[in-house]
Each structure stands twice: as structure tokens, then as C-alpha cells.
Chain A
Amino acid sequence: MAAAVIEFQHVTKVYKRLFSEEKLAALSDVSFESAPGQVCAFLGPNGAGKTTSISILMGFFFASSGEVRVFGYPPGDLRAKKQIGFLPENFAFHKFLTAPKLLRFHLQLAGRNPAAAGSLIPELLAKVKLNGYENLKIGKYSRGMVQRLGIAQALLCNPQLVVLDEPTSGLDPAGRREVLQLLGQMKAEGKTIFISSHILPEVEQIADHVIIINRGKMVRSGRLRDLLAAGRQVEILADRVPEDLPWLRTATVEPAPRGVRILVDVAGKREAVESLWAAGCDVIAMTPLRSTLEELFLKEVDQPGGAQ
């Protein structure tokens, strides 16, 4: 297996007030890894520690204990930063610049000569649909345009790892769809994407791996496919359903185009199907229900004491 792009080993971050004993643990013993080429969704409710983790990953904050490695280097190491494209939450730019000037500035920061970049900047602006706004100052951009520009600067130097903190915040549904398409393109190009977002149905479409944290502690981590496959219900489609079956009291029954749709717990599926057959009903289909990422997320973060 290829070496992990991001490694968090028992990372703890404690904020301390100056001249006070008051301490706040933002992260407690968080460990995870992200493999190359993987889209890793980093999820958690507000205040869970997502931005703190990303700040540690980028070298903006320092972990109180534990070890963090990015491409095998400590966070903030120039060799690692050369391979990272980063979009911070609520991205802000120098408002007096235009988009091409900003991208040229970032090229210079990356140690590249903007004059030798050729058509890179116009292509990137076209990719995020900002072509035609080259002469408009960034201060006059809408929130969605700024966010798209942020994505363009994150992709500027063809990074191997793209870290996106809430990339769809402030975007309208069309903008979110465009960002999602961009992420899909990046995934197809084999880039490693580490994404923090609250828009779970969208994350579900592209993520390979999911990490859920709550109150600074990791509550779930694994392949999205595995986590969602472990659904708790089965959908049974039958032509009709007798009303006197005892297990129906705990099941959900809804009319369906070709009969009735019955939702039962996985544990009771055998009893349900056998009793339907015994009653002379025709069982058309039985499908294990895959839970959604949103259901999984809510289940994990709503568990009383689950993250304590």
C-alpha cells in the first residue's frame, strides 16, 4: 500500500488562555490517515474541531501532542506545501487585485515565474467560469465568485493534495453543483482531496473515505461504501399485505405503484417474508436499505455521550 498522504497520530490540541488555568480541548487523541488518490470527507458539527485539524494539517496551528505528517513531512514544511492546494473556510483575498493578478501573485509565492505560465491562468479561470471577469476587482465579486476563485488558486500549481475547508459555503445550488463537478474532475485526475463540508448529500457523491469527529474526538472512520452498507432496514415489495400480521406493528407500510412497500428491521426480514408467503402474498422484491451519509452522520453525532 502506498504511503499515506496525511497522517494524524494521536493528535491533541488544547487551547489555553493567557494568564489563566482555563483550558479547552479542541482535539483529543485524533488519529486517521488519508491514502493517495482518495477523496476523504472530514465531517463534524460546528465546533467539532474540523478547522482546527485542518489548521494543524496546514501548519497554521501546532498540536499540543501527537504527530502529524503530510507527504511524510511535518506540517508547514516547504516540501509538503509545494504539493498542497488549500482553500480556507470563508476564503478572503486582497480585494484590490483582479483574478489574473491574484493568481500571478500566488504563482510567484509558489516560486514560479508567471511569465512562463503561458495559458495556465486563463485556462484555470475558464475552468471555474470566471473568464470574462478578468478586469473586475475581487472586492466587487459575489460570494460565489470568490469561492470559485479560491478553488482556482487551490488548483493553481497542479497540487497532489487539495485541502478544501467548506468549499461550497455561500454558494447557491448551481454553484455547489459546479464545485462538485470540479471535485469530480480532480478525483478523476487522481488527486488526493481532503474536504470538510456540511453538505452531506454532495459529499456522499464523491467521497471514498469518511472521518466523523464530534467535540474534538473521532467517532467514526472508514470507507464510505462500508459505512453505508451497514444499513439497519430492509425494503420488501409485496402485491398486498394482510392486516393481522403481528410484526406489522413495528414495520412501516406505504403504498407503492405495484403493491405495498414494507420497511422492516434486518433482524425481522425472514419472519416477515415467510409470513407474507404463508398468507398467500406475492413478494416481488426484497432490498437491503443503504443508509445515507446524512443518516450515518446524524446517528453518530446525536448519540448521547457518543463523542465524550
Chain B
Amino acid sequence: MKVRAIALNTFSGLVRNKIIILFCAGCICILLLMLTSLLAMRNLRAAQNAERMQMMVLPLIAGMMTFISGFGSLLAAWSAADAVASEMRAGTVLAVLARPVRRWEFLLGKFLGVQLLMFVFVLIMLGLNYLLAWIGGATISTNPWVLIVYPMVRYAVYSALGMLLVTVMHPIVAFCIVLVVMIGAGLVAPNNPQTFMPEWLRTGLFYVLPSSNLLSETRFLTITRATLRAATWTDHATALVYGLDYALVCFVLAAWIFRSRSLSRD
């Protein structure tokens, strides 16, 4: 009951958070700009070579989906960092932890509140994906559970990482580090052809950084008449367990650090 109360309170706070509202408004503006070109292409399609236009439209849709997905990871990290930091900043954490609430229960409540926000985000994103595909004149053949579970696990990883970092540093610094981690994870992904990094460093970082590529739903995303890309249940299970394990380790570390942290109004 305590954890649920903290989670719901965190969710209520996050949907009213001005920075997050601003964050989402920025994302919507960018999407609208991209949508303009998508609509223009769709109108041109009838007049020009339909096959060629389809090849231009589909990457644009995939790009928009990747953008929304990446934005979600940043939103998850920021929300988690801010959910904890804002309680410390305002001093509300003192009133909450004066109650018979364990520190890890507080963090878990915060974490679940962020996951609730991200679940709403994923549902909106899913609807937007289908809308974009429809506007672009295509259909999404991917099974919807993949488009829900994979981003949720990825967001759990980034929110746990954000939460871990904010237990020892300012939320903006924590967010910047998560951003660097995200970029780094993309650079060291096996499908990235970059060559400036020595192999040993690339391998080392690949094992340490969360694999956004492995947890990306876009690798299953097929926006044509094609069917779901072949993936066995063991592939899914391995990828999802990897993500959940990463999130769990980050969360346990965050709880361990928070356990011995002095709490005062920052």
C-alpha cells in the first residue's frame, strides 16, 4: 500500500511537472515538423513513381518512430532523476520518510510511478506509430506486445540508471550522463560501423553500457506488407531478461547508496 501510494503520488507529480510538459511539447513540435514532410510526400506519391516514394516515406516513418523511442528513454531517465531530486529539493522527502517507510520502498514507489508514466507514454507512442503508418499509407505488421514490452523494459533500464545517478549527483548532471551513455551504447552496438574506437574499448563498453540496440523494438518493426521478422521466444526472453537484470542491478545499487545517504532539504 505504501509503495502504491508513493507510485501514484509520483505519477500525479510527474504529469504536472513543467519540465516534462516542456520536454513533451518540444517532442510534439519536432514530430509535427516531420509530419509535414510526410504529408507532402504522401501527396506527391500519386503523381510520381509510387514505388520510389514508398521507399522515401518508410524510412521517414521509421526515423520518426526511432526519434519517439529515443525521446522516451531520455524522458524515463529525466523523470526518474527528477522524481527523487524534486522531493529532496522541496524537502517533502522528510515528511514521507518520517512515516514508517523504508528508504528502498520510497525509491521503489518513485520507480514504479515513473514506469506508470512511461506506460502511458508507450500507449500514446503505439497509437502514434499506427497513425504515422496510416498517414504514410503503410501498415505495421509487428505484433503490438513487442511495441509495448520492449520499450517498457528499455525505459526501466534508463529510469533505474537515472535514479542510481541522482542518488549521488545533481539531476541535470545525471541526465547528461544518461545521454552520454545512450549515445555510447549506440556507438558500440554491433551493427554500428564506426571505426574510431579500439576494439577492446568497444567490447568493454558493449558489456558495460545498456544495449539499446538489443532492447530496441524497432529491430522488429516492419512497416510494410511484410510479416513479423522472425524471432524465437528465446530471443525475446534473453533480450528482455537482460534488460530487466540491468534495471534491477541499477535499482539495487541506487537503493544501497540511498540507504546511507543523509537526507536534508537541498
Chain A interface (Cβ within 8 Å of chain B)? 55, 58-62, 78, 81-82, 84, 86, 88, 90-94, 96-97, 105-106, 108-111, 113, 150, 153
Report A-chain residues with C-beta under 8 Å of the C-beta of B263.
55, 60-61
Partner of B100, one of A82, A93, A94, A150: A82
- The residues in B between 76 and 111 inclusive whose CB is less than 8 angstroms from any CB of A are 90-92, 94-102
CB-defined A-B contacts under 8 Å, sample of 11: A61-B264, A81-B100, A82-B100, A86-B94, A88-B91, A88-B98, A88-B265, A92-B91, A92-B95, A96-B16, A111-B1
Report B-chain residues with C-beta under 8 Å of the C-beta of A62.
260, 262
Report A-chain residues with C-beta under 8 Å of the C-beta of B101.
81, 109
Q: In the complex the two chains form, what is the Cα distance from A182 to B262 in whole Å? A: 31
Report B-chain residues with C-beta under 8 Å of the C-beta of A92.
90-92, 95, 265
Report A-chain residues with C-beta under 8 Å of the C-beta of B170.
none
Interface of A is mostly: loop
Report B-chain residues with C-beta under 8 Å of the C-beta of A61.
262-264
Q: In the complex the two chains form, what is the Cα distance from A298 to B97 in whole Å? A: 35
Partner of A109, one of B94, B96, B260, B265: B96
Whether B13 sits at the interface, judged by CB under 8 Å, is: yes
The 8 closest A-B pairs by CB, nearest first: A108-B5, A86-B98, A109-B99, A60-B263, A92-B91, A78-B100, A81-B100, A88-B94
Report A-chain residues with C-beta under 8 Å of the C-beta of B95.
86, 88, 91-93, 106, 150, 153
Chain B interface (Cβ within 8 Å of chain A)? 1-2, 4-6, 9, 12-13, 16, 90-92, 94-102, 260, 262-265
Q: In the complex the two chains form, what is the Cα distance from A93 to B4 in whole Å? A: 18
Q: In the complex the two chains form, what is the Cα distance from A2 to B24 in whole Å? A: 58
Instruction: Check if A109 sits within 8 Å of B16, measured CB to CB.
Output: no
Report B-chain residues with C-beta under 8 Å of the C-beta of A88.
91, 94-95, 98, 265
Query: A77: nearest residue on chain B (CB-CB)?
Result: B100
Instruction: Check if B100 sits within 8 Å of A111, measured CB to CB.
Output: yes
Q: In the complex the two chains form, what is the Cα distance from A94 to B90 in whole Å? A: 9
Partner of A81, one of B94, B98, B260: B98
Q: In the complex the two chains form, what is the Cα distance from A88 to B264 in whole Å? A: 10
Instruction: Check if B2 sits within 8 Å of A108, measured CB to CB.
Output: yes
Q: In the complex the two chains form, what is the Cα distance from A100 to B5 in whole Å? A: 14
Instruction: Check if B91 sits within 8 Å of A108, measured CB to CB.
Output: no
Instruction: Check if B99 sits within 8 Å of A93, measured CB to CB.
Output: no
Report A-chain residues with C-beta under 8 Å of the C-beta of B260.
62
Report A-chain residues with C-beta under 8 Å of the C-beta of B97.
58-60
Q: How far is the CB of B262 from chain A (nearest CB, A)?
A: 5
Q: In the complex the two chains form, what is the Cα distance from A217 to B47 in whole Å? A: 86
Q: In the complex the two chains form, what is the Cα distance from A143 to B220 in whole Å? A: 54
Knowing A55-B263, A55-B264, A78-B102 are in contact, say whether A91-B12 is a contact too (CB < 8 A): no
Report A-chain residues with C-beta under 8 Å of the C-beta of B4.
108
Report B-chain residues with C-beta under 8 Å of the C-beta of A153.
95
Q: How far is the CB of A106 from chain B (nearest CB, A)?
A: 6
Query: B2: nearest residue on chain A (CB-CB)?
Result: A109
Partner of B92, one of A60, A78, A94: A94
17 other A-B residue contacts (CB within 8 Å) besides A90-B91, A108-B5, A111-B100? A60-B263, A61-B263, A78-B102, A88-B94, A90-B265, A92-B90, A92-B265, A94-B13, A96-B16, A97-B12, A106-B99, A108-B1, A109-B2, A109-B6, A109-B101, A150-B95, A153-B95
